Amino acid sequence: MFVYKHKVHYYETDRMGVTHHSNYIRFMEEARVAYLDSIGASFSKIEESGVVSPVIEVSGRYLHTTTFDDLLEIEVYIESMTTFKLKIGYKMRCRGKEVFEGWSLHCFLDGNGKPVSLDEHYPQFRAQMS
């Protein structure tokens, strides 16, 4: 299990002092990039192979609020992976309580924007996911 930590900054809160909802998507991205780096499958390496991996869908549920100076622990895990798509899950906790859960769905495209098989263009990726 991979856990990424993010301390909520003042600028990430709204007038009520609550972490603005839009930031959770950014937290997901930070955690995803750190996770992939940690297993040696960074987006940089994927892109060097000529493949890009845009987010094509994202979903999240806000369970409890967080505020300035809170420390979020973000668990990142692979929900599913096919040769063409990758679904990554996220669970965020703060002070022992789950505050957010979500997922992001990614596809794999070549430099012309056409879908590609990641297994063909970057075969070591699947092995690094294990």
Mean per-residue pLDDT of the chain:
93
Q: What is the pLDDT of residue 32?
A: 96
Selected residue with higher pLDDT from 74 and 52: 74
Mean pLDDT of 31-43: 91
Mean pLDDT of 23-44: 93
Selected residue with higher pLDDT from 1 and 99: 99
Q: Which residues contact 2 (CB under 8 A, 6 or more apart)?
A: 34, 35, 38, 39, 75, 76, 77
Cα–Cα distance for residue pair 52/59, rounded to 1 Å: 21
2-129 CATH, one of 3.30.465.10, 3.10.129.10, 3.40.50.12780, 3.40.720.10: 3.10.129.10
Selected residue with higher pLDDT from 4 and 129: 4
In DSSP terms, which residues pair with 4 in a beta bridge?
A: 74
CB atoms within 10 A of CB 72: 23
Tens-digit pLDDT profile for residues 77-96: 999 999 899 999 999 999 99
Q: Which residues contact 85 (CB under 8 A, 6 or more apart)?
A: 56, 105, 106, 107, 108
**If you search the block for the tokens 């007038």, which residue do you land on?**
15
Q: What is the pLDDT of residue 130?
A: 63
